[in-house]
Amino acid sequence: MNAFILIVDDEDIVRNSLQQWLELNGWRTQIACNAEEAEALVRKSPPDVVLTDFRMPKKSGLELMRDIRAIDPDIPVVLLTAHGDVASAVAAMREGAYDFLQKPYDPEHVSAVVARAAERRQLAVELKRLTGKLATENALESRLIGLSKQIVQVREAVRELAAYDRDVIVFGETGTGKEVVAKALHDLGPRAKAPFVAVNCAAIPADLFESELFGHEAGAFTGARAVRIGKFEHANGGTLLLDEIESMPQPFQAKILRVLQERTIERVGSNKLLPIDVRVIAATKCDLAAEGRAGRFRSDLYFRLAAAEIALPALRERGHDALLLFERFAAEAARGAGATLTPLRANDFDALLAHDWPGNVRELKNVAERYALGLAATGRGVSEILRRQAHSTNGPSGQAPLGNTRTLAERVAAYERALIEAALREHDGSITAVIEALGAPRRTLNEKMAKYGLTRPARAAGERE
């Protein structure tokens, strides 16, 4: 047992005897001679258990317990009481005290009570950790949907980098979800409660970049009638997403580089440096390293931003993830509109798998929403939506091919694979739950998973059933 026990008593002999006894029994200890000192220690380094005298000068053990519960309600507080304080100690337990020990106390009894309290603390900490982990994983899986190896790797990268407060480059084709990843990095990291500010660099005129990102003082230029806070200042304490950063004018790239180096900004029309505390995430559809070699992007800015990089796969590289994404987006759209979702037909299913999705997840979401909002009910299934989309994009003579029609066996195999994938995702990889949901024998399910190259999610792979 390596729990950390804080002993609080105004009598030296009591503190020292308790400390010696508990340390002989394997616990780490710290002592405080009054409630004020104890509260400061709790804030600095939370103990696993607080063992405190009930009656102390200035502030009692009961008041200390209330203060500790306000700091961390999961820290067990054990009260040391005299005979006349038993009724008060019982009342304190109703307020949240873990237990009380009546003086003179038996050392073995002290050890037993402290051991139980420490065990409860460890259980509370573990439960909080698992709950937080589950919430994080669920949040990620609901944002970055899919079972393909590529998207699983993206989720792992987000989990790893969210906790590290460093600048990140997110690279991927248009529509792959770069802003979704940036928001996940923010929401799952230490800056989650601070602002998340997104700036599309391609939408800012070149002559307004400095004012837009750094702000300006009143009178800095014609039309600047009042002080304006820039995006860096607005995101202070949080995260700033510089989307399509490759569109940023090169002269301004040098100023961004200096901001990242110095972590200060200067409003237009001001000589005052303002400190900023911002995590910068740069999103791009270009290879910034190659752009730097070609002279179209500052290599020094790229290296400053590239403390970490996340590459997002195109949807066409993610296999059957398109089916899972379509299912989610269509269901959400139908639910939001109070509509009944029309089941996919064979040619719809075929079209989803055959289409190369040049617009990636953004394009698929648009198609799913159009399908859900009644187009399918009028005969305009996925194939028709994609055909009309290709016609409007490429012109009457330039329709994009939807792929060859698949045989019945190919359609059945693709549908079977998608069903197993969806069941594995829904039941967090639990083979027992998937067997019950699909009504398939274990051997049959194992053979099908091997046939389609399916594996259980990583977090479930080590579980025994």
Amino acid at 283: A
Q: What is the pLDDT of residue 404?
A: 44
CA-CA distance, 332 to 340, in Å (whole number)?
Answer: 11
Buried residues in 123-146 as b, exposed as e (16+ CB within 10 A):
ebeeeeeeeeeeebbeebbebbbb
Task: Reduce the DSSP state of residue 52 to 3 states and report it.
Answer: strand
Residue the block writes with tokens 């099908």:
448
Mean pLDDT of 428-434: 84
Query: Rg of the chain's alpha carbons, rounded to an integer?
Result: 30
Peptide bond into 104 cis (omega under 30): yes
Amino acid at 21: W
Mean pLDDT of 284-300: 94
Fold of 407-465: Arc Repressor Mutant, subunit A (1.10.10)
Q: What is the pLDDT of residue 196?
A: 97
Predicted confidence (pLDDT) per residue in 21-70, tens digit = 999 888 899 999 999 999 999 999 899 999 999 889 888 888 999 999 88
From start to end of 115-235, where are the E strands?
168-171, 196-200, 215-216, 228-229
Q: Render 234-300 in DSSP notation, one character per residue.
A: HTTTSEEEEETGGGS-HHHHHHHHHHHHH-EE--BT----EE---EEEEEESS-HHHHHHTTSS-HH
Q: Per the structure block, which two tokens stand in for 187?
A: 């929401």
Predicted confidence (pLDDT) per residue in 231-244, tens digit = 999 999 999 999 99
Q: What is the pLDDT of residue 132?
A: 61
Q: Which residues pair with 229 in a beta bridge?
A: 215
**CATH number, span 147-313:** 3.40.50.300
Q: How confident is the model at residue 400 (pLDDT cuts 50, 70, 90)?
A: very low
Contact 72, 46 (CB under 8 A): yes
| CB-CB neighbours of 411 under 10 Å | 16
- Nearest CA-CA partner of 232 in 199, 208, 206, 269: 199
**Phi-psi group of 226: left, alpha or beta (phi > 0 → left; psi -120 to 50 → alpha; rest → beta):** beta
- Nearest CA-CA partner of 151 in 186, 189, 180: 180
More confidently predicted of 420 and 125: 420
- The DSSP element (H or E) to which 48 belongs, if any, is none
Secondary structure percentages of the chain, helix, strand, coil, to 5: 55, 10, 35
Q: Is the pLDDT score of 257 beyond 90?
A: yes
Question: Considering the domain 315-406, what is its CATH architecture?
Answer: Orthogonal Bundle (1.10)
Q: What is the pLDDT of residue 374?
A: 72
Structure letter (DSSP) for residue 171: E
Mean pLDDT of 394-409: 48
Q: How confident is the model at residue 177 (pLDDT cuts 50, 70, 90)?
A: very high
Task: Reduce the DSSP state of residue 195 to 3 states and report it.
Answer: coil
Q: What global pTM score does this model have?
A: 0.59
Q: What is the pLDDT of residue 179?
A: 96
Q: Is 45 exposed, middle or buried (0-12, 13-18, 19+ CB in 10 A)?
A: exposed
CA-CA distance, 91 to 66, in Å (whole number)?
Answer: 13
Q: Per the structure block, which two tokens stand in for 280?
A: 């910068």
Q: Domain locations in the chain?
A: 4-126, 147-313, 315-406, 407-465
Averaged confidence pLDDT in the chain: 84
The values of phi and psi at residue 348, to 5°, are -65, -45
CA-CA distance, 372 to 197, in Å (whole number)?
Answer: 31
CA-CA distance, 191 to 311, in Å (whole number)?
Answer: 22
Contact 378, 368 (CB under 8 A): no
Q: Per the structure block, which two tokens stand in for 354?
A: 């055959």
* Most distant pair of Cα atoms in the chain: their distance: 96
- % pLDDT > 70, the chain: 86
Fold of 4-126: Rossmann fold (3.40.50)
Q: What is the pLDDT of residue 411?
A: 62
- Alpha-carbon separation of residue 192 from 169, 178, 185 (angstroms): 19, 18, 9
- Nearest CA-CA partner of 386 in 333, 342, 349, 334: 349
Q: Does the fold of domain 147-313 match that of domain 4-126?
A: yes
- Nearest CA-CA partner of 298 in 349, 262, 242, 246: 246
